[in-house]
Chains A and B, each alone.
Chain A
């Protein structure tokens, strides 16, 4: 059974940093691209970032480019999101999501339960 478990969320002040983690199990992690997708409270879905199986192809939404960094450790079956210079508008539930193949196809076939990030002073 595919499982994605996010962690690392919390309350953080504007301008500070936070790192999210996603622990994957139930599938061969290094065979798939992975993504972060967020959902602000009461709002819709927004793709944040994704990377291919070997981190050779990485993409970011314009709203986070230059502030967020996605990475993965295939030996640890883990995905990460380093978030710097956080803003109030980054407040959201952050989901880890699996793609359907090695490369970025932007099909999110499995999702974690999310970790909540609240940016507030």
Chain B
């Protein structure tokens, strides 16, 4: 099962909004509303930020939001802050292997 496709890097200035895309197929992202997003700071464990495409777990800032259109899911971070600088991974349930992750996107806050 191939990984979901994410941009290798994105960047933005404090206060701006950025969007990270996650592109799959109709067998994963497009076929199910089971997309999650994880944030990982260097040397740290991943943290769940979004589940079920757009649900925020308790404790996650409302600056983080998720959406999906067709085979592409998106994570938007508004009001960018220095602490948001991290790697972000999407994941999706798939019809072939149970779950697949994206390759990861490095967010740089300028």
Hey, which bits of chain A sit against chain B, CB under 8 A? 37, 44-47, 50, 59, 61-62, 95, 100, 104-114
Question: Hey, which chain B residues are within 8 Å of A50, CB to CB?
Answer: 98
Given that A45-B89, A106-B34 are contacting pairs, would A113 and B101 also be in contact in the complex, using a CB cutoff of 8 Å?
no
Q: How far is the CA of A59 from the CA of B100 in the complex (A)?
A: 13
Chain A's interface: helix, strand, loop or mixed, by majority?
A: loop
Hey, which bits of chain B sit against chain A, CB under 8 A? 1, 3, 34, 36, 38, 44-48, 51, 57, 89, 91, 93, 97-104
A109 touches B57 (CB 8 A): yes
Question: Hey, which chain B residues are within 8 Å of A106, CB to CB?
Answer: 34, 91, 93, 98-99
**16 more CB-based (< 8 A) A-B contacts, given A47-B91, A95-B46, A109-B48:** A44-B3, A44-B89, A45-B89, A47-B100, A47-B101, A95-B45, A105-B34, A106-B34, A106-B99, A107-B48, A108-B36, A108-B38, A108-B46, A111-B47, A113-B44, A114-B45
Chain B residue at minimal CB-CB distance from A6: B45
Within the complex, what minimum Cβ distance (angstroms) separates B31 from chain A? 14
B98 touches A104 (CB 8 A): yes
Instruction: Rank and list the top 3 A-B pairs by shortest CB-CB distance, nearest first.
Output: A111-B45, A106-B99, A45-B101
B97 touches A61 (CB 8 A): yes
The 18 listed contacts between A and B (C-beta, < 8 Å) are A44-B102, A45-B89, A45-B101, A45-B104, A47-B91, A47-B97, A47-B99, A50-B98, A61-B97, A95-B45, A95-B46, A100-B51, A106-B93, A107-B51, A109-B51, A111-B45, A111-B46, A113-B44
Q: How far is the CA of A95 from the CA of B1 in the complex (A)?
A: 21
Q: How far is the CA of A105 from the CA of B104 in the complex (A)?
A: 21
Question: Hey, which chain B residues are within 8 Å of A114, CB to CB?
Answer: 45
Question: Hey, which chain A residues are within 8 Å of B3, CB to CB?
Answer: 44
Question: Hey, which chain B residues are within 8 Å of A107, CB to CB?
Answer: 36, 48, 51
Chain B residue at minimal CB-CB distance from A106: B99
Question: Hey, which chain B residues are within 8 Å of A45, CB to CB?
Answer: 38, 46, 89, 91, 101, 104
Chain A residue at minimal CB-CB distance from B36: A107
